[in-house]
A and B are shown apart, each in its own frame.
Chain A
Amino acid sequence: MVGVKSVPSPTIPSPTISADDRSHEVDHPSSEVALFGADQPLRLDCGVDLTPFQIAYKTYGELNADRSNAVLICHALTGDQHVANVHPVTGKSGWWETLVGPGRPLDPSKYFIICSNVIGGCMGSTGPASINPATGKVWGLDFPVITIPDMVRAQAMLIDRLGIDTLFAVVGGSMGGMQVLQWTAAYPSRVYSALAIACSTRHSAQNIAFHELGRQAVMADPDWHNGAYADQGIHPHRGLAVARMAAHITYLSDAALHRKFGRRMQDRELPTFSFDADFQVESYLRYQGSSFVERFDANSYLYLTRAMDYFDIAADHGGVLAKAFAGIETRFCVVSFTSDWLFPTSESRALVHALNASSARVSFAEIETDRGHDAFLLDVPEFFDISRAFLQSAGKARGLTGKNG
């Protein structure tokens, strides 16, 4: 052996955006905020009344005269309210601009589109990264555990605040899809139509297992400090990045990874015989991990994954899923993707069977793609065609008029 080659650190690069940028959005978001004072506590499933609290949200388009064109978009685990505008922290475009925008299935010239950051999130809605008014310090693990029904209850309070009785549509994928289903189960008369994408009525054991892996990665980071890292002015970015890397793999498919990266090397011909990111797929995951920690809070990740784990609509209705939707008049459209192994088609099918058993009006389509769970965020024309058609026909039945009729 002659000489020693300089090998870059095998760890994940540190974030380039300062914690201050992110923490500012936690309590003082650059979007609209609805504040709920002591007179309007949020009753949580864990038995705690959360008060005061705030919900950060964005709206696009205008509410029509009879308040019948409001669409609520529910974001996925690591999404936020910035669905169709430049993100204030990352500077990137909105996470669902493929679906929302002029000429898109959700056109702001036709619908009044609302997207709120979920309770427990870290982009302006009250969550573990927020300041606990009782102590003046960051909540951390003192924040009560929240559930998907809690998120929806908070959204309903926001919708009330906006003066909307019935939502024309509630739309969401993944954790957002869970919220869509919870909306229909909890407030059937307030949801005219529901578009539930790549989701399930309950989180599977496999998915809980992946979430536990992510949480353990966060908690194993020495910077985590039992959730009180904010007091130390640090952020457990390594653990959170590992959690994100593991989760990201579940959002893709083997075929998509192979198509994108194969076994190709990154910036080199030969392996370095080290634990550097030799393979492109490794670099990609490290990038995904590091860019995620720039905009997301580690404790928030723990809380939101926990909320998904607890989700089980049937369990809330005596174990019979159909009971959750008994007599429902909401028009449903359920969409799944063939290569989604996080929320496989079989789970959507179980939902559709339950809706059929409840005599609900339901459409269900499985879309063929090798892009995995993430397909709902990508440019999949067939998915947009179906979304557009479903919303248009529901709009027709609802008597909505407007551009792109």
Chain B
Amino acid sequence: MSVQEVLPLNGLAGDQSGPFRADHLLVAEMVKPGSKVLDVGCGDGDLLQLLETRGIDGRGIELSREGVNRCVAKGLAVVQGDADTDLVNYPDDAFDYVILSQTLQATRQPKVVLENLLRIGRRAIVSFPNFGFWRMRLQLLIGGHMPRTENLPASWYDTANIHFCTIKDFVELCDEIHVKMERAEALDLYGRPLRLRLPWWVWNLFGEQGVFLLTRGGK
């Protein structure tokens, strides 16, 4: 799935003006320079490349062989693996940040994966498409069929996404496993953050995706 390439607004991502996705720029902004990052489900390695331009030591895991090959071709340190089964092999505190970008919904055990992210990394950054987005709701409410969007174009029967959730669902899961939300952003259709500090239900309705910076320890 590809999110539209949009330049950042209001200097969100510094002077970066490369062809990077807006949500990647937001994620990259959450990572302190010089840190060590594991990108789980790194796809073609675009985010890892962006992180490397900022002096961040990035590693990746990707399920698809083609994705791994493209990453290696970009000189990235990526291994073929499955977030559901391979994360258990990573030692505690191996990374400063573990990123799960647009992948949570494709895991078999999102809760276990999330717990692993915060075991391996001191912090985790998770982004996912919000199924509570108004267009999704409308397609189900009015259209009566499983929603499809530009970013999630697959039909229900051939999608790799098996565990969709809403921003609200995710917030509840974080509560349940005592994960602290250090920062939360809802992005609009173009990957731009909703600028205002709005109540959760508004984000849940108008955020096309959520991006969360998480730490251990809970409320």
Contact stretch, chosen from A1-9, A61-69, A266-274, A383-391 = A383-391
Does chain B have a CB within 8 A of A324? no
- Judge whether B74 is part of the interface by a CB distance below 8 angstroms: yes
Could you tell me the distance between the alpha carbons of A278 and B95 in the complex, rounded to whole angstroms? 60
Please give the distance in Å from A52's CB to the nearest CB on chain B. Answer: 43
- When the two chains form their complex, are residues A357 and B90 in contact, meaning their CB atoms are under 8 A apart? yes
- Determine the distance from Cα of A394 to Cα of B72 in the docked complex, in whole angstroms: 10
Cα A352 to Cα B59 in complex, Å, equals 12
Given contacts A352-B79, A356-B94, A368-B65, whether A361 and B59 have CB atoms under 8 Å apart is yes
A364 to B82, CA, bound (A): 13
Contacts of A357 in B (CB 8 A): 89-91, 94
Give the A-B contact count at a CB cut-off of 8 A. 66
Could you mark each residue 118-150 of chain B with 1 if its beta carbon is under 8 Å from any beta carbon of chain A, else 0? 000000000000000000000000000000000
Q: Are B90 and A364 in contact (CB under 8 A)?
A: no
User: B99 an interface residue at 8 Å Cβ cutoff?
Assistant: no
Tell me whether B90 and A356 are in contact (CB under 8 A). yes
Residue of B nearest to A397 (CB): B75
Asked if B68 contacts A364 (CB within 8 A), the reply is: yes
- 8 Å CB interface, B68-107 against A: 68-69, 71-81, 86, 89-91, 94
Query: Contact between B68 and A353 (Cβ–Cβ < 8 Å)?
Result: no
SS of A interface (majority) = helix
State which of B36, B69, B79, B94 has its C-beta within 8 Å of the C-beta of A386: B69
- Contact assessment for A365 and B94 in the assembled complex, using a CB-CB cutoff below 8 Å: no
Question: B72 is contacted by which of A352, A353, A390, A397 (Cβ under 8 Å)?
Answer: A390
How far does the alpha carbon of A367 sit from the alpha carbon of B65 in the complex, in Å?
8
Q: Please tell me if A396 contacts chain B, counting CB pairs below 8 Å.
A: yes
In A338-388, the 8 Å CB interface with B consists of 349, 352-353, 356-357, 359, 361-368, 382, 385-386
Contacts of A73 in B (CB 8 A): none
Contacts of B91 in A (CB 8 A): 357
Cα distance A334–B90 when bound, in Å? 17
Given known pairs A365-B68, A368-B65, A386-B69, the reply for A393 and B74 (CB within 8 Å) is yes
The smallest beta-carbon distance between B51 and chain A, in angstroms, is 14
Q: Smallest distance from the beta carbon of A363 to chain B beta carbons, Å? A: 5
Alpha-carbon separation in the docked complex, A394 to B75 (Å): 7
A353 touches B77 (CB 8 A): no
Q: Which residues from chain A contact B80 at a C-beta distance below 8 Å?
A: 364-366
Chain A contacts of B73 at CB under 8 A? 385-386, 389
Min distance, Cβ B5 to any Cβ of chain A, angstroms? 24
Residue of B nearest to A367 (CB): B65
Cα(A334)–Cα(B81), bound, Å:
13
Interface residues of B (CB under 8 A from A): 36, 57, 59, 65, 68-69, 71-81, 86, 89-91, 94
Top 6 nearest A-B pairs (CB, nearest first) are A393-B75, A364-B79, A389-B73, A353-B89, A361-B77, A363-B72
30 pairs, A vs B, C-beta closer than 8 Å? A331-B77, A334-B79, A349-B81, A353-B86, A356-B59, A357-B90, A359-B36, A361-B57, A361-B59, A361-B77, A363-B71, A363-B72, A363-B77, A363-B78, A363-B79, A364-B78, A364-B79, A364-B81, A365-B68, A365-B72, A366-B65, A366-B80, A367-B65, A386-B69, A386-B72, A386-B73, A389-B73, A389-B74, A393-B75, A396-B75
Q: Contact residues of A with B, CB < 8 Å?
A: 331, 333-334, 349, 352-353, 356-357, 359, 361-368, 382, 385-386, 389-390, 392-394, 396-397
